[in-house]
Amino acid sequence: MNWQQLRKYLSGNYPTEELPNDFDLLSLEWEVKLAYVAHQLKMPVEELLYLAQETFVHEFIIKERQWYSLTEREKQVARFVCKGLTNDEIALQLKISQNTVRTHLRRLLPKFGLTSKDELRQYLWHWRF
């Protein structure tokens, strides 16, 4: 299914059959994705867009507050974690012991409500350190 067929489907001019199994939502433009999601939720596109913006801003503010609650050294460790460095590599970069790296991680992860370095990477992926 291409985007023109999807637009027909969303406007009600397409048979009400299910979308084909090979339908690739990721290949569509963001506007069409938004329209598809709004259709599935039975909500106006404008309302969905407003909710998405509101949610994004709220999450950004929360993450920013959490970030500023970190010490400078915790921020350095978090940046290196997000860049994919191991504890050994972080220790070498910061000229501290591996135990100290683990201590910083043990203290900073709960400030974000997280339990692992992978979760931290996913949580801050869009900050592009």
The fraction of the chain above a pLDDT of 90, given in percent, is 45
* Same-domain pairing of 74 and 101: yes
pLDDT of residue 81 exceeding 70? yes
Identity of the amino acid at 60: F
* Same-domain pairing of 81 and 115: yes
Closest CA to 127 of 53, 44, 43, 64: 64
* Same-domain pairing of 50 and 84: no
Q: What domain range is 122 assigned to?
A: 69-127
pLDDT of residue 117 exceeding 50? yes
Kindly give, in sequence order, each residue whose CB lies less than 8 Å from that of residue 53, ignoring residues fewer than 6 positions away: none
Residue 95 lies in a domain: yes
- Alpha-carbon span 95 to 98, nearest angstrom: 9
Report the number of distinct structural domains present in the chain. 2
Residue 62 lies in a domain: no
pLDDT at residue 41, as a whole number: 78
Residue 7 lies in a domain: yes
Quick check: 63 and 82 in contact, CB under 8 A? Answer: no
User: For the segment 47-71, what is each residue's pLDDT rounded down to a tens digit?
Assistant: 877 777 787 777 888 888 999 999 9
Note the helical H segments in 69-129.
72-82, 87-94, 98-108, 117-123
pLDDT at residue 16, as a whole number: 44
